[in-house]
Chain A
């Protein structure tokens, strides 16, 4: 018989030693019972978190100016979502690494037009009111250059936007119908009608909350709530849970990259983190085939502790 060279990190020695009784079913049953009791105990003692979802109604009532400013950004297409790029629209630079930009290659597949989807269409579905109808007509019949000029005027004074007596006020006369549109949008939001209007865009039945979620995520109110709960990206938030509960601790490495350069400074940080994690994940899955890495356990010698009885018997 020819001897193949023995590779200690790939081949396993043949075992000629003793066998001992082993009740696999009993072991499984005991494990199930132990985990069941432990789970029930943890559930009874600690329960689980359930922070109520944010609605556009709660947001616009809690921080009306933030809502109106965000709605203004959506209307004038200057918000984060409006300038996101793929897969929502063509208005942003996609994340990339060199020529690699799968985001761009895939293109727009979940089309979101913040101006129409978040502001103009919901307002157009409102019962006719002369001031609103006139403002909508003025917006819709304006050229995109005129809309752009109104938008630029709005952006300049946006920080000084105020809200009083149910009206949004802008310290400029150059923003066309924007102040009126935002006043009605804000009234709609505060009554809860905007929540319904955004959801009903998908028809009667819906299980898709893409648009309302994107709208809410553009405001500072939502992010403020999350930051208080330590959930923001730069707070290692992905690992965390609301309240004092443990979160997804298994995401520690994924979360870690977001805290250090170049990942936390690059405009393509997400893509770089995902690329890094894909490579590391591939290394983990293919560990048995990677020389060097697969020798680590033999050199660590932790196995000496695990099989200490076996080695004592052999000696």
Chain B
């Protein structure tokens, strides 16, 4: 669609989407990826070591 500035999409998402159906739940693959990434980010933020703190133990 948007051409001319070379700013068109590298990956075209303008096709009919894919959907996952499980009992009453229907979700688009795109939304599912977003939600999985959100949970993964949360878990990663909990467990990833936070840099630059250990060596300052007890400083004030």
Contact = CB atoms under 8 A, between A and B. Distances in A.
B30 interface: yes
Interface string A251-265: 010000001100000
Contacts of A9: none
Interface string B1-31: 1100001111111111111000011111111
B42 to A, nearest CB: 9
Contacts of B25: 236, 259
B14 A49 contact: yes
Nearest to B57: A313
Interface residues of A, number: 32
A47 B1 contact: yes
B46 A243 contact: no
Dominant secondary structure of chain B at its interface with chain A: loop
B34 interface: yes
Contact of A47 (B9, B33, B34): B9
B26 A236 contact: yes
A277 B9 CA distance: 37
Contacts of A65: none
A246 B33 contact: yes
Best-surrounded residue of A45, A228, A240, A313 (most CB of chain B within 10 A): A240
Interface of B: 1-2, 7-19, 24-31, 33-35, 46-47, 50, 53-54, 56-60
Interface of A: 18-20, 44-47, 49-50, 228-230, 235-236, 239-247, 249, 252, 259-260, 302, 305-306, 309, 313
Listed from nearest, the 6 A-B pairs whose CB atoms lie closest are A47-B9, A244-B13, A246-B30, A244-B17, A243-B14, A246-B34
